[in-house]
Amino acid sequence: MSIPFLDPRQSYIEIKEELDDAYQRVMQSGTYILGEVVESFETDFAIYCEANFAVGVANGLDALTLSLRALDIGADDEVIVPSHTFIATWLAVSQSGATPIAVEPDEHTFNIDPALIEGKITSRTKAIIAVHLYGQPADLEAIQSIAKRHNLYLIEDAAQAHGARYKGKRIGARGDVVCWSFYPGKNLGAYGDGGAVTTNNRSIANKIRTLRNYGSQEKYHNELMGYNSRLDPLQASMLQVKLRHLDRWNMHRCTIAHHYFEALKDADLMLPFTPNWAQPVWHLFVIRHPRRNELKELLTRNGIGCLIHYPIPPHKQIAYLATGQIFDPLPLAEKFATEVLSLPIGPHISHSDAEAVTECVLKLN
Ligand SMILES: *Cc1c(COP(=O)(O)O)cnc(C)c1O
């Protein structure tokens, strides 16, 4: 038996004709940087996210970095980040010149605990980055009211949450800026790198549009120290096709998650928790198990792909140890690193695959 954790090729096989047609049209068009196809995808993606504007960039890390730059966050500033996240959230802050200040997660949702944020705000704090980890929205209203009270920007890292809803509304425009990745393994993934920023704020959208293109709106006129971080039209053409299938693929993820919940409800492990206001899209299905390493070995031995998200929290990475920054104790992030395990989920996982996964998990109980 072989159940891969991820199969980025599956979507290509499934909708090959649509995709081939889309990228061949870009090849024929002669426009290989920005242009109509990128604009057209931006329009579709903004509508999908219920946002006024979308700006395509080169990847998710750049979406975050350019957003921080657009908000004039840099040296001497502090930015609140979750202690439990993919390191890109932190790296963007560090690359902007600011300092990431870690806040621990809620024990049940894995997302930043709003109750712990105010304790970390100082006179240097400029923004809060909320990550919708594993595809489940963070508690945006609670975080937004803290941001308002302290006059901070709210940046959302939605790299794992394409299509998720918070209190009925799509993730996409509640914060000042919302950052997306189209890395192939994401719910909406390209066949290469890609990213975007969505926002309801026209001037922020324009600034990111300028920053992504050498800081220039008019060729050879540079107003900002910009970047070269543009969404590739070949990728945009395929993302536009895939966007039309995203809700169906997300629905499939939900049915697999449903199977995991039902089959594992009496097992000796912790299942994910979903608050009633959250409509997650199950980018990852993450369980906590006291004998995590044993379970991982068992699954792997049985040909079932499973991964740890994430084995080392950012503050324990050599890159951050080397900065000399002193972090307050972050015991939950460290505990999660030893207990979490992601079961395979995605459009490539069939119901019989999911049954095989849960049968195997239950063997350890
Ligand atoms: C994937 C991811 C990113 C970075 O996206 P890239 O496109 O790989 O640069 C940022 N934040 C989170 C939470 C992610 O999962």
Cβ neighbours for 53, distance < 8 A, ≥ 6 positions apart: 42, 46, 198, 199, 200, 201, 202, 205
Tell me how many degrees the CA angle 85-91-95 measures, rounded to the nearest 5: 160
- Any atom of ligand 1 within 6 Å of the Cβ of 66: no
Report pLDDT for 75.
97
Within a domain: residue 179?
yes
- Any atom of ligand 1 within 6 Å of the Cβ of 160: yes
162 and 48 fall within a common domain: yes
Distance between Cα 279 and ligand 1 center (Å): 20
Strands (E), 167-208: 169-170, 177-181, 195-199
Nearest CA to ligand 1 atom 12: 159
- Any atom of ligand 1 within 6 Å of the Cβ of 181: yes
Which atom of ligand 1 lies closest to the CA of 61?
Answer: 9
Which is nearest to 64 in space by CA: 42, 85, 43, 39? 85
Give the Å distances, CA to CA, from 291 to 64, 288, 298, 361. 35, 9, 11, 11
213 and 286 fall within a common domain: no
57 and 201 fall within a common domain: yes
Tell me the per-residue pLDDT of 231-280, one tens digit each, with 9 for 90 and over.
Answer: 999 999 999 999 999 999 999 999 999 999 999 999 999 999 999 999 99
96 and 189 fall within a common domain: yes
Give the domain-ending residue among 190, 224, 243.
243
Query: pTM of the prediction?
Result: 0.98
Nearest CA to ligand 1 atom 2: 159
Give the range of the structural domain holding residue 284, as residue numbers without chain letter.
Answer: 246-362
Give the domain-ending residue among 193, 215, 243.
243
230 and 270 fall within a common domain: no
Cβ neighbours for 321, distance < 8 A, ≥ 6 positions apart: none
**Which of 59, 79, 86, 310 has most ligand 1 atoms within 8 Å of CB, for mutation?**
86
Q: Quote the number of domains for the chain.
A: 2
239 and 254 fall within a common domain: no
- Peptide bond preceding 220 in cis form (omega within 30 of 0): no
Distance between Cα 88 and ligand 1 center (Å): 6
Confidence band for 1, pLDDT divided at 50, 70 and 90: confident
Give the domain-ending residue among 209, 243, 277.
243
Confidence band for 114, pLDDT divided at 50, 70 and 90: very high
Distance between Cα 159 and ligand 1 center (Å): 5
181 and 40 fall within a common domain: yes
Within a domain: residue 3?
no
209 and 269 fall within a common domain: no
152 and 237 fall within a common domain: yes
Pairing of strands 165-166, 169-170: antiparallel
Within a domain: residue 4?
no
93 and 225 fall within a common domain: yes
162 and 139 fall within a common domain: yes
Q: How far apart are CA 88 and CA 311, in angstroms?
A: 15
- Any atom of ligand 1 within 6 Å of the Cβ of 213: no
Average pLDDT over residues 95-113: 98
- The tokens of 241 are what? 């096709």
Within a domain: residue 54?
yes
Q: Residue 322 sits in a domain of what CATH number?
A: 3.90.1150.10
Within a domain: residue 218?
yes
Q: Residue 89 sits in a domain of what CATH number?
A: 3.40.640.10
